[in-house]
Structure 1
């Protein structure tokens, strides 16, 4: 299955100490999850009608290796699998040495933006 690549470099703003998910100057898991979700959003965008969008519904990421500031990270995202209710993208993250630092999946629902926002407004 072809994988799209998205590149990032860990900056001080991406660390657990800055994000608030820890106290070390290493890539924060929430930032990694955001990078994975953004990759899935970009990949899914190409699989849906132009009058629809996708919204995140579930992220399962196992972060298995730390990454210091300055580390180059590549997020790999597979084409989505349509399970009938949502699009599921398998993702992984690798450092510049090719070592896997994380893997998992991102689930996204296809929605009509106007209907979705109208439902959100009623909640307020």
Structure 2
């Protein structure tokens, strides 16, 4: 299955300490999830018709190895599997030694932009 890769270097702003998800200066899981969702969005984008987009609906990620500030990680994202309305991307994150940092899946729903945004702007 074809994979696209996205490179990131951990900065002090990407740490668990900075994001409040822990007290260590290592790559925070919330930042890692953001990078995986961003990769999935980019990989899904070419398959979406004009006037439509994708929104994140589900993330399942196992973060198994720490990455220090200055450390590089590569997010690899497979082409999505589609069930018509939802796209599922499998992701793997590795360090420069090829060791797994995290792996999992990102689900994105295909939505009509205008309809989705009109529902978001409704006031109760």
TM-score w.r.t. length of structure 2: 0.97
Distance in 1, matches of 2:83 and 2:113, equals 21
In the other structure, the counterpart of 1:75 is 75
Cα-to-partner distance string for 1:32-87 (whole Å, 9 max, x where unaligned): 00000000000010111122100000000000000101111000000000023300
TM-score w.r.t. length of structure 1: 0.97
- Runs (5+) with no aligned partner, structure 2: none
Cα-to-partner distance string for 1:76-119 (whole Å, 9 max, x where unaligned): 00000002330000001000111010000000000111000111
Distance in 2, matches of 1:84 and 1:5, equals 25
In the other structure, the counterpart of 2:112 is 112
What secondary structure is seen at the aligned counterpart in 1 of 2:27?
Answer: coil
- Runs (5+) with no aligned partner, structure 1: none
Residues 7-86 of structure 1: matches in 2 within 5 Å? Answer: 7-86=7-86
Question: Which 4+ runs in 1 deviate beyond 6 A?
Answer: none
C-alpha RMSD over aligned residues: 0.9
Q: How many residues align?
A: 124
